[in-house]
């Protein structure tokens, strides 16, 4: 059976086990009292027609409504309605109890005996998808990227960006060279949910080994294993297009499955995923310009990156999300500002800021007025171009910037550079 969301948009569905995995996670992370147990206790419904931000500001993070909103594309729409509970009555038992946050009597739900049986069967994949959602950018299909405060802890960058003293004439290449050197020289402390984890590291190779998504036990090797079948699937679809052919019905179905799998991996649920949209993204990365109004956001940039992976090193795309964008912009901003430059040079004019939340992104302050790059293919292309240049700079100096002790002689891939920037941009 499925969980049906009447408003998420209409008749949006997810698996029961995924919902139960979210229920379990909500108790672990957001419960209002340490003794609350996902098996025996409930949570307030706290439904409201206000925005997700307002719900969280009012202290309703631990509620059925906020939980449901995070599982669907319509984050700013009330989800835990009477209709929702009735449609999914195999999962819930509704009752009244004192809300531990407000002290008032309010409607709550707890898990039914049937749902408790599912709780014991939660798989690693079910939990993975919830962790991805909680660590990804929060978007609403109607309102775009939501800058939600107080959902994830913020951190203050611990190290100033070190700059060389000879910043006089900055060509695009010298800027990339300086950026690569500063990332290599600076210590890096990985964080998870606002807390430092692992040991502090230094150097591109050590930074790469500290990568994880969406939680620390999914590192580089686990991510590469998870992405490999998706990359192969995308390459097969690209082969058809490169031969000048159109996708068969089976390939259209494969493309749809690919997009859904990528969105699940990234924790960015999307609505109305059509073959036309997917094909437009493939065509856009192939032709170097937006084709047929191809969509772009924190989900579709991931499809663009995977779709382009078989197009050769000169045409690969990066995942241009808030973390990768912040990593590059905070560094470019400091380098350019130290050189007396107050506006982005022409070759960086389309490099756009992507608003984010949590970590150091929420409080990011730039000296230069970078354009908003959210939902813009121009920013996707510009970001991908500079990350390709970073990759090439690393590979020109592979002895200075090795990929890692387990890959002696190997060269940097765009995905690996992206992983380092992703961690750096938290």
Delimit the domains of the chain by residue range. 2-135, 147-425
Is pTM beyond 0.85? Reply is yes
Q: What is the pLDDT along the chain (426 residues), one digit of tens a residue?
A: 899 999 989 889 999 999 999 999 999 999 999 999 999 999 999 999 999 999 999 999 999 999 999 999 999 999 999 999 999 999 999 999 987 777 889 999 999 999 999 999 999 889 999 999 999 999 887 778 887 765 666 676 655 566 665 555 678 999 999 999 999 999 999 999 889 999 999 999 999 999 999 999 999 999 999 999 999 999 999 999 999 999 999 999 999 999 999 999 999 999 999 999 999 999 999 999 999 999 999 999 999 999 999 999 999 999 999 999 999 999 999 999 888 889 999 999 999 999 876 555 555 679 999 999 999 999 999 999 999 999 999 999 999 999 976 666 689 999 999 999 999 999
The pair of three-digit structure tokens given for residue 85, joined into one six-digit string: 């509970």
DSSP codes joined into one string, 195-260: EE-S--EESHHHHHHT--SSSTTS-HHHHHHHHHHHHHHHHHHHHHHHTTPPPPHHHHHHHHHHHH
Using alpha carbons, select from 124, 26, 116 the residue that is nearest to residue 68: 26
The pair of three-digit structure tokens given for residue 185, joined into one six-digit string: 């020289």
Q: How far apart are CA 418 and CA 330, in angstroms?
A: 15
């Amino acid at each position: 059976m499925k969980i049906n969301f009447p408003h998420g948009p209409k008749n949006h569905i997810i698996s029961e086990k995924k919902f139960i995995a979210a229920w379990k996670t909500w108790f672990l992370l957001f419960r209002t009292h340490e003794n609350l147990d996902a098996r025996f206790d409930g949570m307030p419904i706290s439904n409201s027609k206000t925005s997700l931000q307002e719900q969280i500001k009012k202290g309703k993070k631990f509620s059925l409504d906020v939980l449901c909103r995070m599982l669907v594309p319509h984050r700013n729409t009330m989800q835990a309605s009477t209709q929702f509970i009735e449609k999914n009555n195999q999962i819930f038992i509704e009752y009244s109890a004192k809300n531990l946050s407000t002290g008032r009597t309010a409607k709550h739900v707890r898990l039914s005996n049937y749902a408790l049986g599912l709780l014991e069967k939660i798989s690693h994949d079910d939990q993975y998808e919830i962790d991805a959602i909680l660590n990804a950018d929060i978007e609403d299909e109607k309102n775009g990227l939501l800058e939600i405060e107080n959902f994830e802890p913020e951190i203050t960058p611990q190290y100033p960006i070190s700059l060389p003293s000879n910043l006089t004439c900055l060509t695009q290449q010298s800027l990339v060279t300086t950026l690569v050197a500063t990332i290599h020289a600076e210590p890096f402390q990985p964080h998870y949910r606002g807390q430092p984890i692992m040991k502090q590291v230094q150097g591109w190779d050590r930074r790469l080994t500290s990568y994880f998504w969406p939680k620390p036990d999914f590192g580089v090797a686990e991510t590469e294993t998870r992405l490999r079948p998706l990359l192969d699937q995308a390459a097969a679809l690209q082969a058809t297009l490169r031969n000048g052919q159109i996708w068969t019905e089976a390939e259209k179905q494969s493309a749809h499955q690919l997009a859904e799998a990528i969105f699940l991996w990234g924790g960015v649920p999307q609505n109305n995923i059509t073959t036309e949209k997917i094909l437009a993204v493939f065509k856009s990365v192939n032709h170097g310009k937006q084709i047929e109004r191809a969509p772009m956001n924190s989900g579709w940039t991931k499809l663009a990156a995977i779709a382009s992976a078989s197009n050769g090193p000169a045409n690969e795309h990066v995942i241009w999300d808030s973390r990768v964008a912040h990593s590059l912009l905070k560094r470019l901003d400091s380098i350019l500002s130290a050189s007396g430059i107050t506006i982005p040079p022409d070759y960086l004019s389309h490099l756009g800021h992507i608003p984010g939340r949590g970590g150091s992104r929420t409080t990011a302050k730039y000296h230069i007025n970078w354009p908003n790059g959210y939902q813009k293919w121009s920013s996707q292309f510009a970001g991908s171009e500079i990350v390709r240049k970073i990759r090439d700079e690393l590979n020109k100096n592979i002895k200075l910037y090795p990929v890692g002790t387990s890959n002696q002689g190997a060269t940097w891939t765009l995905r690996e550079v992206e992983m380092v920037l992703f961690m750096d941009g938290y």
